[in-house]
Chain A
Amino acid sequence: DQQVKQNSPSLSVQEGRISILNCDYTNSMFDYFLWYKKYPAEGPTFLISISSIKDKNEDGRFTVFLNKSAKHLSLHIVPSQPGDSAVYFCAARRGSNSGGSNYKLTFGKGTLLTVNP
């Protein structure tokens, strides 16, 4: 049962354009969402997160949007750079205010982003 889904295995964009990576979730108990970036031979690196009480969080070129009613979030990268080429994982967890421990991250399968010069 895939509780976090990234339906696009790969995405290719031109340098300078916008990259939009999508993620859907099914578990309504999730109330904190994270994006991780992973280069080959390295562990995932935290990129940006959003709490379910917000619908947008921005950090430089990276913005995450959350549509709680649709159980959908997206990561926007503007402008895209060749160094952004990596696998992007969407992850979710239950917050402590929902009565459960937030120890467990549930990941999607990832989307390979390629930014072409």
Chain B
Amino acid sequence: ETGVTQSPTHLIKTRGQQVTLRCSSQSGHNTVSWYQQALGQGPQFIFQYYREEENGRGNFPPRFSGLQFPNYSSELNVNALELDDSALYLCASSLGTTGLNNEQFFGPGTRLTVL
């Protein structure tokens, strides 16, 4: 059973650019959540996708968008990058969205730096 993987590991972009981060969920997991972890902070929920549809969103602007594909991979897209978007982006996969014990398994993250 493979774990959650993310690519790339590190990325440097400039203000105003667009970026796509990728995540491959754990096999069989139909739910993926994305989190942003700024330096010195805990992860903050961006949104969740369940069966290829957005299933909930945190306090992030529309320029943060996502996609989930039938093969369990997913993308986080950020348009019009700002300096404050510099952070570690984590994806987490789980099986289902309800029930108290659907543990979320995290990937290693993508470190995005916006200059």
Residues of A whose CB lies within 8 Å of any CB of B are 4, 6, 32, 36, 41-46, 49, 51, 89, 91, 95-97, 101-110
Q: When the two chains form the complex, which single residue of B56, B103, B105 contacts A104, counting CB atoms closer than 8 Å?
A: B56
A89–B42 CB distance below 8 A: yes
Complex CA–CA separation, A101 to B106 (angstroms): 19
Q: When the two chains form the complex, which single residue of B41, B55, B103, B106 contacts A109, counting CB atoms closer than 8 Å?
A: B41
B98 within 8 A of A: yes
A104: chain B residues within 8 A (beta carbon): 33, 45, 48, 56, 58
- How far is the CB of B56 from the nearest CB of chain A, in Å? 5
B103–A105 CB distance below 8 A: no
**Nearest neighbor of A44 in chain B, beta-carbon distance:** B106
Given A41-B108, A42-B108, A46-B104, answer yes or no on A103-B48 (Cβ-Cβ < 8 Å).
Answer: yes
Give the interface size class of chain B.
20 to 34
Residues of B whose CB lies within 8 Å of any CB of A are 4, 31, 33, 35, 40-45, 48, 50, 55-56, 58, 90, 92, 97-109
Complex CA–CA separation, A46 to B90 (angstroms): 14
Complex CA–CA separation, A91 to B44 (angstroms): 11
A105–B43 CB distance below 8 A: yes
A41: chain B residues within 8 A (beta carbon): 108
A110–B42 CB distance below 8 A: yes
Among B100, B101, B107, the one with the most A-chain Cβ atoms within 10 Å of its Cβ is: B100
